[in-house]
Structure 1
């Protein structure tokens, strides 16, 4: 039984670590957060199943606990804007640029309520518009050397 709990905790730990790596890279070393959340999610799952809940519902509740407050990601939002609006920025550069921009655009992010429900509110569209304008200005002031796909770089 104890081994099952350890396996459940490890399962949730791996899932949270992968999620943080993808959406919140600044938090990948937040050991206390990862341990606390993965243990709590595993406990909730096991308690829910023991109380007679079906496994799908128990897993859904455990996931909600695991990812609470982490659904919105400044980093991921910036990566998406870069990939959609600036497809010539190489994918390997997008992540490092998004990390830099996340810090640079703190003032913009601070004006919004960035909770898990922001995607369903009108303010999300306003945030995206403001970030897009700031990103455009940033890239005008800090041009990135990018090659167009399928063409060799222009040499003089």
Structure 2
């Protein structure tokens, strides 16, 4: 039962991150499941090797967010906010960006 809680933790952590930075990936359930499973495995392995829980959490986070550091979504929102501040008041950049990325 505890494993399910840990898995849920990593899944929720990843889904939250994706919703803020990669909303187009939220529907990719196989990716989310696989990545959360990998993070859980990393966490468990690190604890078994004697790392502290915070250290294991850091290692699992590295696995969880691997390859997700550059966000086209964040970049485009930032450009729209900075270059079209008067034309596109908040929250329009966040609403417009998913359409522009399609």
TM norm structure 2: 0.89
Equivalences for 1:5-154 in 2 at 5 Å? 5-88=3-86, 89-103=88-102
Q: CA RMSD in A?
A: 1.3
| DSSP-derived class of the 1:72 partner | coil
| DSSP-derived class of the 2:91 partner | helix
Runs of 4+ in 1 over 4 A off after TM superposition: none
Any stretches of 5+ residues in structure 2 without a counterpart? none
Higher-RCO chain (CA-CA 8 Å, sequence separation at least 6): 2
Any stretches of 5+ residues in structure 1 without a counterpart? 104-156
In 2, are the aligned partners of 1:9 and 1:42 still within 8 Å (CA)? yes
Q: How many residues align?
A: 101
Q: Shift of residue 90 of structure 1?
A: 2.5
Q: Shift of residue 45 of structure 1?
A: 0.5
